[in-house]
Amino acid sequence: MTSLGDVLGIVGLLVGVASNGVSYYLYVRTFANKGISSYIRSTASIEPFDARTLSSGVLAPLRYADCTVWNSGRQTIFGSELKSENGIEISLSEDAEIFKGPIVQASLRENAVEARRLSLTRVSCRFDYLDPGQGFMITIAYAIPTPDFYEPKFEVPKIAAVVVGMPQGITPLTRRVQIIRRFYESYGSLGALSLLFLLIQIFFRFQFGYALIVDAAILLMVVIGGMGIYNAMRSRRPLWFLYYTDSTSVRP
């Protein structure tokens, strides 16, 4: 006759196995085969009260933006896969103006990263190829009018492109972090449920064999979670930038 302990043990085992399947599915979904991520760091000029006069005659504080783009997937991305007219485009608001740059830093010279200014507010970027983890950083100095010169509020540049096989386009780092957070929230819930079954078994002194099996299932979930954390940390930043070039340093 099947006891309550046997039933709960079998249910616990099924939950552990299902948890591993779901967690691995979420893990695969989190790290796409093909992906480009971006991160923008905008800072004020290191010179106090450094400002530039815009075409409109307005005096505006100078800002610097480091726009980082890298291959965050698991497949090589070729420049021929960029289908947008201006490749990867960095754009500012209409009332802003670029005063210096783009300055290019890339993972390798062979990536053949090129950046050119299209207008006072737009920069076009192209490359030959990017292996997983490879990328580039475009630095520009720009000014944008603000109501409060001493406590300005800025709209950071935007990065966009149309890439073959990537309907989601370029993924900002903040969005990628949210995807990873949702994955681990789901993973943690499934792990807690499996652990709950294990504790029930131990508390009521159910068969030791079931406890060992559920232990193994939870351990496997921990391993999958560790793999996810490692890949998440590795994919959040590109490889070191070894190649540097200043494409242009004067206003167009």
Q: Of 51, 102, 111, 52, give the one whose Cα is nearest residue 76.
A: 111
Bridge partners of residue 64, in order along the sequence: 43, 141
pLDDT at position 251: 36
Q: Where are the beta strands (DSSP E) in 22-177?
A: 36-44, 51-53, 59-71, 77-78, 88-91, 97-106, 114-117, 122-126, 129-130, 135-143, 158-160, 171-172
Write out the residue limits of the CATH 2.60.40 domain(s) in the chain. Answer: 36-172+240-246
pLDDT at position 249: 40
d(CA 53, CA 62): 10
CB of 134 closer than 8 Å to CB of 124: no
CB of 98 closer than 8 Å to CB of 64: no
pLDDT at position 200: 61
List per-residue pLDDT tens for the chain, 252 residues long: 555 555 656 666 666 666 656 666 655 665 667 889 898 988 876 565 678 888 888 888 888 999 999 998 888 999 999 999 999 999 998 889 999 989 999 999 999 999 999 999 999 999 999 998 899 999 999 988 876 656 656 678 999 999 998 888 888 877 666 666 666 656 655 666 666 666 665 555 555 566 666 666 666 666 666 666 555 555 555 666 766 666 544 333
Burial state string for 107-118 with b = 16 or more CB within 10 A and e = fewer than 16: bbeebebbbbbe
- Locate 148 and state its tokens: 């409060």
d(CA 217, CA 203): 19
pTM of model > 0.75: no
d(CA 13, CA 130): 43
pLDDT at position 139: 94
Contacts of 181 (CB under 8 A, 6+ apart): none
Q: Distance of alpha carbon 29 from its chain centroid, rounded? A: 14
Hey, what amino acid is at 19?
A: S
Class of domain 36-172+240-246: mainly beta
